[in-house]
Amino acid sequence: MKKSSTTVQEPPGAVVHRTTPPPVWQPRTDPAPLLPDREPYRVLGTEAAGDVDPELLRRLYAELVRGRRFNAQATALTKQGRLAVYPSSTGQEACEVAAALVLQERDWLFPSYRDTLAVVARGLDPVQALTLLRGDWHTGYDPREHRIAPLSTPLATQLPHAVGLAHAARLKGDDVVALAMVGDGGTSEGDFHEALNFAAVWQAPVVFLVQNNGFAISVPLAKQTAAPSLAHKAVGYGMPGRLVDGNDAPAMHAVLSEAVRRARSGGGPTLVEAVTYRLDAHTNADDATRYRGDGEVEAWRAHDPVRLLEHELTERGMLDRDGISKAADDADAMAARLRDRMNADPELDPMDLFAHVYAEQTSQLREQAALLRAELDASAEPADDAPGQGGTR
Amino acid sequence: MTTVAPRAAGSAKAAKPATMAQALRQAMRDAMAEDPTVHILGEDVGTLGGVFRVTDGLAAEFGDDRCTDTPLAEAGILGAAVGMAMYGLRPVVEMQFDAFAYPAFEQLASHVAKTRNRTRGALPLPITIRIPYGGGIGGVEHHSDSSEAYYMATPGLHVVTPATVEDAYGLLRASIASDDPVVFLEPKRLYWSKSQWSPGAPATVEPIGRAVVRRPGRSATLVTYGPSLTVCLEAAEAARAEGWDLEVVDLRSLVPFDDETVVASVRRTGRAVVVHESQGFGGPGGEIAARITERCFHHLEAPVLRVAGFDIPYPPPMLEQHHLPGVDRVLDAVARLQWEADS
């Protein structure tokens, strides 16, 4: 059946286009309440600060100071070779601390590799939290015991896990919320989009926290996305997007608490973008001077989360020099304990290499385990010409 | 090995021969009925019952929460299953077609396969990943890949593929019951193969990882699995006319690999041909041939040969018959096993 190559003819009897209106179509939701505010939400230095529970402010301050000291200590441990790597969250402590504090014990935290501080602020033994980065095993704790997923090194891949877990909890009738953390670079990954879409479709009780710290290693946000903000991405999935000053600890706590409350009460997921800054390099292997100037870093130092809260507390007479010193001393003591413990060599059993690949070792792994066992035994035996150890003839 | 008596299929027609698709469905149905933590998720698995109808009726019987139509996103499907497993569920995900599973590969390789290991046994992930695979049904591109080598090359996964209706039931039950992730490869050209086993009949559920001799023989061993089993059985019948008495070993599980059954067979026969339809280069046959050679060198009368698909992207359907190893190609390889007499 050949047709003219220049004109498209309607087949006989076909409905002529546009003489009847198309079926009614409307967007399913009014996007207005989903859109984030134009400016990041702030508490410190605003009237809202007066409404924050003083106890919460004090707790946030203590945690921020400890977190800052933890970052410094862990960074020092990389220089001493005690940690293979440490992705510092210096400058982002307000995000880390708030993420941990807004969760109930039964809730789950899904951290990325930079979120050691959130894991520690949730109450996990710091040595267990640093196991991955020390290199003695991949995860140093039982995720189900602490309700903390393993620190995820692949970007954004832990977000669908948070959705699946929250969904499963809700199916079971449990009042559990999952909070998943990701960086600005991670928002470009496919798993980020799939996780948000699943969460919105399932109305899963999940909070997605994007820490927009300005750079994905060296690539600035402007080369990462053309979106007005990362929080704006939420509207496309049908969930609220919230923009918050990531260096303002009470603002972070308020926005995340509200998102957790919404999730727990059946309101579905929220995407929170925390606008913050990574004051240190990506890791100790990175040279941040190649991609950003001192002026930019200094401008952000003036917006340091610890100093911002310290200023607020001092202004309101809730903190004086003694209080500042005491917080610093407490943090130093924590760091000293951590240093001591990290200076002990971990005891590793090479046979663990085969212990947890499958529930039951395959015959192939049993053979390989026997090979390693034999190698270990051979290397443990003294050489023939070695001096005897007290044997008598 | 356990024998299970599944619930009756709900009709008096249970005596009719069952297809592999029905056996797979019955396996999921029985697993779901016995264990409320078993959940199915995937694209089209609910209302439609799967594009191959393997999950037909499960959403109606167990509800949308137990058999869930998901957004069309394979990484999201498998990633969500990881989280569900973390919370104590036993997800069974469907990837619809072999090549559609590739977007989920990062979840599979970086999380599903490794999580038990990276948490030192604290967090096992009992996930079954059903993937209809292989060609021979006239599918257009991206619908006929044999991707088992990728999964075999990923430590931490079990890789299982049934070739019979009975095994489809038994292996899927075993996979769902496994505390480890299982990539369950369903040979889609065998979906409509039938046997006298019927839904509701007692079935055998063995631990995964055991090969089986489908046809005993003395002159050579054909080592195969999944869609190529029927080819090998047919070749074995045809070879009788040439005086060859071929033994046919169905691996059933590629990981773990049943060295014992394969080695015992090849030591008996002294000759082996590995037959599969995925590519030969970097394909499963190379690993299998190497294992046989390492363990049977002094028993072998000829090199271990491979009959595999060509090393090409899966061809368009009108050419696939030239790519898929058929009976003649297997028989040619068997003839080459007389190499020492000729050389």
Q: Work out the pLDDT band at A393, boundaries 50, 70, 90.
A: very low
Quote the strand ranges of chain A, DSSP E: 108-110, 178-183, 206-212, 215-216, 219-220, 241-245, 270-275
Return d(Cα B247, Cα A145) in angstroms, integer. 51
Give the nearest partner residue to A143 out of B76, B114, B119, using CB atoms: B119
DSSP string covering A377-393: HHHHSPPTTSPPSS---
Name B107's Cβ contacts closer than 8 Å, sequence gap at least 6. A157, A160, A191, B75, B78, B79, B82
Contact predicate A64/A305, CB 8 Å: yes
State the average pLDDT over residues A230-248: 97
Contact check, Cβ <8 Å, A362/B260: no
Q: What is the 3-state secondary structure (H, E, C) of A54-74?
A: HHHHHHHHHHHHHHHHHHHHH
Give the nearest partner residue to B124 out of A154, A163, A359, using CB atoms: A359
In chain B, residues with a C-beta closer than 8 Å to the C-beta of A168 are 83-84, 86-89
Mean pLDDT over the full length of chain A: 92
3-state secondary structure of B158: strand
Return d(Cα B153, Cα A313) in angstroms, integer. 57
Report, as residue numbers or ranges, the catalytic residues of A.
278, 282, 291
Contact check, Cβ <8 Å, B123/A157: no
Contact predicate A67/A338, CB 8 Å: no
Tell me the backbone φ, ψ of residue A167, rounded to 5 degrees.
-65, -45
Give the nearest partner residue to B180 out of A168, A191, A358, using CB atoms: A358
Residue of B64, B66, B77, B84 to mutate, interface with A, max A Cβ within 10 Å = B84
Q: Work out the pLDDT band at A386, boundaries 50, 70, 90.
A: low
In chain B, residues with a C-beta closer than 8 Å to the C-beta of A363 are 256-257, 259-260
Q: Whose structure tokens read 């862990």?
A: A74
Return d(Cα B140, Cα B138) in angstroms, integer. 7
Q: How far is B87 from chain A (nearest CA, A)?
A: 6
Instruction: Give how far Cα A348 sits from Cα of A130, A136, A345, B29, B277, Å.
Output: 15, 7, 9, 44, 43
In chain B, residues with a C-beta closer than 8 Å to the C-beta of A161 are 79-80, 82-83, 86, 111
pLDDT score recorded for residue B204: 81
Given B39, B111, B143, B323, which residue is catalytic?
A: B143
In chain B, residues with a C-beta closer than 8 Å to the C-beta of A357 are 116-117, 155-156
Contact check, Cβ <8 Å, B83/A164: yes
User: What is the per-residue pLDDT across A154-204, written as a single tens digit (0 to 9) for each?
Assistant: 999 999 999 999 999 999 999 999 999 999 999 999 999 999 999 999 999
Name B250's Cβ contacts closer than 8 Å, sequence gap at least 6. B163, B164, B167, B211, B212, B213, B214, B224, B225, B229
pLDDT score recorded for residue A12: 60
A with B: how many residue pairs have Cβ under 8 Å apart? 145
B183-199 as b/e: b if 16+ CB within 10 A: bbbbbbbbbebebebbb
Res A216 pLDDT > 70: yes
Q: How far is B196 from chain A (nearest CA, A)?
A: 33
Contact predicate B22/B199, CB 8 Å: yes
B81: nearest CA partner in chain A:
A164
> How do the pLDDT tens digits run along chain B, 343 residues long?
677 765 554 444 445 789 999 999 999 999 999 999 999 999 999 999 999 999 999 999 999 999 999 999 999 999 999 999 999 999 999 999 999 999 999 999 999 999 999 999 999 999 999 999 999 999 999 999 999 999 999 999 999 999 999 999 999 999 999 999 999 999 999 999 988 888 878 788 889 999 999 999 999 999 999 999 999 999 999 999 999 999 999 999 999 999 999 999 999 999 999 999 999 999 999 999 999 999 999 999 999 999 999 999 999 999 999 999 999 999 999 999 986 544 4
The DSSP H or E segment spanning B129 is strand B128-133
Burial of B167: CB neighbours in 10 Å, binned 0-12, 13-18, 19+: buried
Contact check, Cβ <8 Å, B103/A190: yes
3-state secondary structure of A210: strand
Return d(Cα A284, Cα B3) in angstroms, integer. 58
pLDDT score recorded for residue A273: 98
Q: How far is B64 from chain A (nearest CA, A)?
A: 11
3-state secondary structure of A112: strand
Residue of A113, A139, A194 to mutate, interface with B, max B Cβ within 10 Å = A194
Q: Are strands B90-94 and B220-224 parallel, antiparallel or unpaired?
A: unpaired
Q: Work out the pLDDT band at A15, boundaries 50, 70, 90.
A: low
State the average pLDDT over residues A73-96: 96
Contact predicate B265/B213, CB 8 Å: yes
Q: ipTM, 2 decimals?
A: 0.93
Contact predicate A280/A288, CB 8 Å: yes
Q: What is the 3-state secondary structure (H, E, C) of B36-54?
A: CCEEEEECCCCCCCCCCCC
Long-range contacts of A226-231 (CB under 8 A, 24+ apart): A229/A36, A229/A273, A230/A184, A230/A187, A230/A271, A230/A273, A231/A36, A231/A271, A231/A272, A231/A273
State the maximum Cα–Cα separation within chain B, in Å, rounded to a whole number: 65
Contact check, Cβ <8 Å, A142/B122: yes
Res A7 pLDDT > 70: no
Q: How far is A114 from chain B (nearest CA, A)?
A: 18
In chain A, residues with a C-beta closer than 8 Å to the C-beta of B209 are 362
